[in-house]
Chain A
Amino acid sequence: MSTDSIPASLEVSGLAFAYPDGHQALFGVDFAVGRGERVALLGPNGAGKTTLVLHLNGILSGGTGTVTVAGLPVGRKHMAEIRQKVGIVFQDPDDQLFMPTVREDVAFGPAAAGLKGAALQERVRTALEQVGMADFADRPPHHLSFGQRRRVAVATVLAMEPEILVLDEPSSNLDPASRRELADILRALDVTVLMVTHDLPYALELCPRSLILSDGVIAADGPTGDVLSDDALMRAHRLELPFGFDPKSVTTSGR
């Protein structure tokens, strides 16, 4: 964690939140993600993962506690800046890609922030190249394969040059090849990543550090290999490794 002068990409402290219907989803969440880190956020269904993600760019608010992005508190005052800094890639790319062509969709965020002309085109091109989709710029999103759509969804967020990339279940519905392609892309990026996932091998492959969110609090925080190898901890939070998968037998290159 960053104790030096660079502010952490993301700092969450004492975050608690209850929905208007009274259902309390978060009970005081504390963690920080340093600049350039890749962190997995693990947790069973209903642990409050999505609620937490929606707090990171201020879509949900009104509970107690604070969220700080690169030293900037999330709140009404800096909303436009926060939404530029926190890039969320949602689970279903069909929700994320709402414009008629890939190019326009990638341009949406930067254009909303006021970028135009050649600078905008350049930004779109760079983002699409980062995910290897530059040749598909003029295609409508619904004519792409699922894996390609997921990559374009990542590009739409990269085009905003975010401080932190938040991925909600990035590997869901991907075939093994697309999964690996996405992993290669994510590894090559030079941004902070927070990955919300059930896919434990994927977390181990990509993220040196993991958090477990369970019942609205952070129940564990440590190196992914250690977290996944702790049987008692895993069982206590309804996390299960795929059949035959042993995290201790996997050597990750780390970073």
Chain B
Amino acid sequence: MGAGHAHRLYRHGHSPVHALPPHTKLAAAFAFVVVVVSTPREAVWAFGLYAVLLAAVAYRARVPAGFLLKRLLIEVPFVAFAVLMPFVAEGERVDVLGLSLSVNGLWGAWNVLAKGTLGVAASVLLAATTELRELLLGLQRLRLPPLLVQIASFMIRYGDVITDEMRRMRIARESRGFEARGVRHWGVLAKSAGALFIRSYERGERVHLAMVSRGYAGSMPVIDEVTASRAQWSYALALPCAALVVCLLGWTL
């Protein structure tokens, strides 16, 4: 594996979590998020336990806390929305530090913040321990429509090619003295985008030709069989199962 091989969300390692088959990890992360979302928001302690569970997974996967927290920053725009809720929501109000806040809004904000953070943290962990390509294999294994998987894998393969083409077009524009400044130049940019679209479309046709020439008949052949043993499944599903116990406790207590 060369440098720059992996996506930057991925953290190379050899932990037991890295070694799990991708579809078990996908299923576990998805089940975990479902369980978290269905937990009553009043059970504040339950969310604390979820966080502890994730921290345990991160520890097993040897993903440092700093790495995880930095990736969590993607959540910030949603947090901003959550912060607004106590100010705008209706209903009973309470005074905090001289500000009148809605009780409902406070609970709502907490709800969004806690569940969102846990969901994002679970996804970040999944991405940190699973390569993009493996994720696709996992999705294929979980019977996601093959067309969607194919589209996603072509995006990964050709993203760089198209970005490069875009860069060359920009250099060609700038070499002839063009600089995008203001609305008057939007026309030129729009035409470039159109040309890029047509080029990509034509490349798509050529790729299809190459695929058909090698025996493609509508479905991708299975090259890497991913299979999971019972032990691997139970190892992966330990996380959502533990979370489910917490959730049930949250509903009954």
**Chain B's nearest CB lies how many Å from the CB of A127?**
12
The complex places the Cα of A28 from the Cα of B215 at a distance, in Å, of 28
Interface pair B222/A139, CB less than 8 Å apart: no
Does B70 sit within 8 A of A, measured CB to CB?
no
Q: How far is the CA of A146 from the CA of B136 in the complex (A)?
A: 27
- Least Cβ distance of B204 to chain A in Å? 9
A112-B216, A156-B214 given as contacts; is B222 within 8 A of A143 (CB)? no
Q: State how many angstroms separate the Cβ of B3 from the closest Cβ of chain A.
A: 9
The reply to whether B210 and A59 contact each other, CB–CB distance below 8 Å, is no
* With A90-B209, A95-B203 as contacts: A116 and B215 at CB distance below 8 Å: no
Task: Indicate whether A122 reaches chain B with its CB closer than 8 angstroms.
Answer: no
A154 proximal to B (CB < 8 A): no
Binary contact track A67-109/B, C-beta < 8 Å → 1, others 0: 0000000000000100110101010101110111100100111
Q: Could you tell me the distance in whole angstroms from the C-beta of B110 to the nearest C-beta in chain A? A: 41
Beyond known contacts A54-B209, A95-B207: 7 more, CB 8 A cutoff: A80-B215, A104-B223, A112-B216, A113-B215, A141-B157, A143-B5, A160-B215
A108 and chain B: residue at smallest CB distance: B214
**B214 with A157: CB separation less than 8 A:** yes
Chain B residues with Cβ below 8 Å from A86 are 213
A residues with CB within 8 A of B: 54, 57, 59, 80, 83-84, 86, 88, 90, 92, 94-96, 98-101, 104, 107-109, 111-113, 116-117, 120, 138-143, 156-157, 160
B94 CB → nearest A CB, Å: 54
Question: Is A90 a contact of B206 with CB atoms below 8 Å?
Answer: yes
- Determine the residue in chain A with the shortest Cβ distance to B216: A112
Q: Would A109 and B214 be within 8 Å (CB), given that A92-B206, A101-B133, A139-B5 are in contact?
A: yes
Q: From B219, which residue of chain A is reached at the shortest CB distance?
A: A112
Are B224 and A109 neighbours in the complex by a CB distance under 8 Å? no
**With A80-B215, A90-B209, A95-B210 as given contacts, are A140 and B153 in contact (CB-CB < 8 Å)?**
no
Interface string of B25-50 (1 = CB under 8 A from A): 00000000000000000000000000
CA distance A164 to B133 in the complex (A): 33
* Cα distance, A141 to B191, chains bound together (Å): 30
Report the separation of the CA atoms of residues A59 and B215 in the bound assembly, to the nearest whole angstrom. Answer: 11
Query: How far apart sit A92 and B164, CA to CA, in the bound complex (Å)?
Result: 15
Question: What are the nearest 10 A-B pairs in CB distance?
Answer: A111-B221, A112-B215, A109-B214, A95-B206, A112-B221, A107-B223, A100-B133, A96-B210, A142-B160, A111-B223
CA separation between A125 and B211, bound complex, in Å?
Answer: 20
Question: Using Cβ atoms and an 8 Å threshold, which residues of chain B touch A108?
Answer: 211, 214, 216, 221, 223
Asked whether any CB of chain A lies closer than 8 Å to the CB of B2, the reply is yes
In the bound complex, what is the Cα–Cα distance between A77 and B245 (angstroms)? 59
Contact A100 B156 (CB under 8 A): yes
